[in-house]
């Protein structure tokens, strides 16, 4: 029981640490790498300022999709039950023939 509790505590701690690991502002990397130079406007436009807000406002549902039925046949060469029984009986007869060793 003690090990289960320890595992639960460690797992919960890892979940909290994982959530707080990301940068708040995406331009921090640019500022650190470019020694304080401002980010060009062309690049700023590519970065979402508030990712949670932009994702909530965006409609992610694709409305232009193909509605035609799609038929996939996996067993195109199925045999009927009678054909299977006939084929099996034929194999058994071949195996039971005298002088034939499998």
**Which residues have a Cβ under 8 Å from the Cβ of 100 and sit 6 or more positions away?**
94
Between 3 and 22, the more confident residue is 3
Cβ(27)–Cβ(41) under 8 Å? no
pLDDT tens per residue across span 9-35: 888 887 776 665 556 666 777 888 888
What's the pTM?
Answer: 0.26
Q: From the CB of residue 30, how many other CB atoms can be counted at a distance below 10 Å?
A: 17
Q: Would the pLDDT of 78 be above 80?
A: no
Q: What is the pLDDT of residue 68?
A: 79
Domain ranges for the chain, please list them.
24-49
* Dihedral sign from CA coordinates of 10, 11, 13, 14: positive
Q: How far apart are CA 102 and CA 96, in angstroms?
A: 10
pLDDT band at 101 (very low <50, low <70, confident <90, very high): low
Q: Each residue of 50-77: pLDDT tens digit?
A: 555 556 666 767 777 777 777 776 766 6
């Amino acid at each position: 029981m003690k090990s289960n509790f320890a595992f639960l505590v460690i797992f919960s701690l890892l979940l909290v640490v994982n959530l707080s690991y990301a940068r708040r502002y995406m331009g921090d990397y640019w500022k650190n790498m470019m020694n304080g130079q401002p980010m060009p406007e062309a690049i700023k436009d590519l970065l979402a300022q508030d990712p949670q807000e932009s994702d909530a406002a965006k409609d992610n549902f694709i409305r232009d999709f193909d509605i035609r039925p799609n038929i996939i046949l996996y067993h195109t060469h199925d045999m009927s039950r009678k054909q299977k029984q006939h084929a099996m009986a034929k194999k058994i007869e071949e195996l039971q023939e005298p002088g034939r060793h499998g």
